A and B are shown apart, each in its own frame.
Chain A
Amino acid sequence: EPEVTQTPSHQVTQMGQEVILRCVPISNHLYFYWYRQILGQKVEFLVSFYNNEISEKSEIFDDQFSVERPDGSNFTLKIRSTKLEDSAMYFCASSPQSAQETQYFGPGTRLLVL
């Protein structure tokens, strides 16, 4: 069964460093999302991406965040200058032909900023 994959599974970085989190959505899906979950808290929406552009973003997704689909398969989240409060689990998700359909989540990348 096709699934969303994410790399790396864990990332430790120093405050102020740039990190890139990678995702490979399910191959025939058209809508892509990033969410984050700070330890012990609920999952929060960051950004959605469709047709090679951002379609929606939350107030969390400020100028230090960016997303890109560099080729036909990868979908990346870049945090330009990490802060301690960026430590969280980051989930990539994708949904098929319509954004009204179910979003399937990847296994997550656990980011720790020191």
Chain B
Amino acid sequence: AQKITQTQPGMFVQEKEAVTLDCTYDTSDQSYGLFWYKQPSSGEMIFLIYQGSYDEQNATEGRYSLNFQKARKSANLVISASQLGDSAMYFCAMREGAGAGSYQLTFGKGTKLSVIP
């Protein structure tokens, strides 16, 4: 089974509108972290936002917010007031595990967001 599922290969949004990118995850760990990264066409991976499994409140970073629904195992990214520069691939990722050691990230297949002027 996929650990991270992003069901939207591509999305379009009108400039200045809000958009939600879906992400569901699968883990049996109690402690885990969820991340969103943006990958523009230039290729770099830009960290956007993080949500810990024990965080009571949804994470927010500027125009980005994470709609965390633990019971549904979903961690959707909401981008408000879309800008042309938001056009990119967006990846949801999960870090599992608690305790000492390394914590690899497992990524979803990504959603390509296109912002229309």
Which residues of A line the B interface, CB within 8 A?
Answer: 31, 33, 35, 41-45, 48-50, 55-56, 58, 89, 91, 93, 99-100, 102-108, 110
Contacts and interface: CB of A to CB of B under 8 A. Distances in A.
B interface, size bucket: 20 to 34
Contacts of B43: 89, 107-108, 110
B33 to A, nearest CB: 7
A105 B33 contact: no
Contacts of B103: 48, 99-100
A109 B106 CA distance: 20
Given A100-B33, A108-B45, A45 B105 contact: yes
24 contacts: A31-B102, A33-B102, A43-B105, A43-B107, A48-B104, A49-B102, A55-B101, A56-B104, A89-B43, A91-B45, A99-B103, A100-B95, A102-B47, A102-B50, A103-B35, A103-B47, A103-B105, A105-B44, A105-B46, A106-B44, A107-B43, A108-B43, A108-B44, A110-B43
B84 to A, nearest CB: 21
